[in-house]
Amino acid sequence: MKKYTYSAKRADNKENWCVVDAKDKVLGRLASEVAARIRGKHNPLFTPHADTGDWVIVVNADKIKLTGNKWDQKTYYRHSGYTGSLKSTTAKELLEKKPEELVIKAVRGMLPKNRLGRKLNNKLFVYAGAEHPHAAQMPETFEI
């Protein structure tokens, strides 16, 4: 009798869709749960090198919370590659301009930094309001 560890393929995974309401949730705690769900760590078939996760829709991203003084102290940087072109923005400014970007950056930082992680980024959909256009996928509600 052969004894081996089962290695799941992407085709073995029944991909589900779930909706997460971000209203009054702390950003980091929400992002870690969403990243684990996208990665598939909740799934008994979890395989580190395969996509065994679910598709996640986050709504009410504009009502997210940060603890302490992070609204003013947390800084996001971007650089174009040219000399002296480092731009920075605080979490409060980012919430006013693009509230979805706060959640996207937090979840992306918790996913692997490789080809699989870049593929998993496409399984996240974030919306500032309560509505989303993914009703056809019949998403189930995921409570955090």
* Phi and psi angles of residue 114, each rounded to the nearest 5 degrees, phi first: -155, -170
Exposed/middle/buried for 57, CB within 10 Å: 0-12, 13-18, 19+? buried
Whole-prediction pTM value?
A: 0.92
Q: How far apart are CA 126 and CA 136, in angstroms?
A: 17
- pLDDT classification of 1: cutoffs 50, 70, 90: low
We find that the CATH architecture of domain 16-141 is Alpha-Beta Complex (3.90)
Exposed/middle/buried for 27, CB within 10 Å: 0-12, 13-18, 19+? buried
Domain boundaries, the chain: 16-141
Per-residue confidence (pLDDT) for residue 99, from 0 to 100: 95
Per-residue confidence (pLDDT) for residue 22, from 0 to 100: 96
Per-residue confidence (pLDDT) for residue 105, from 0 to 100: 97
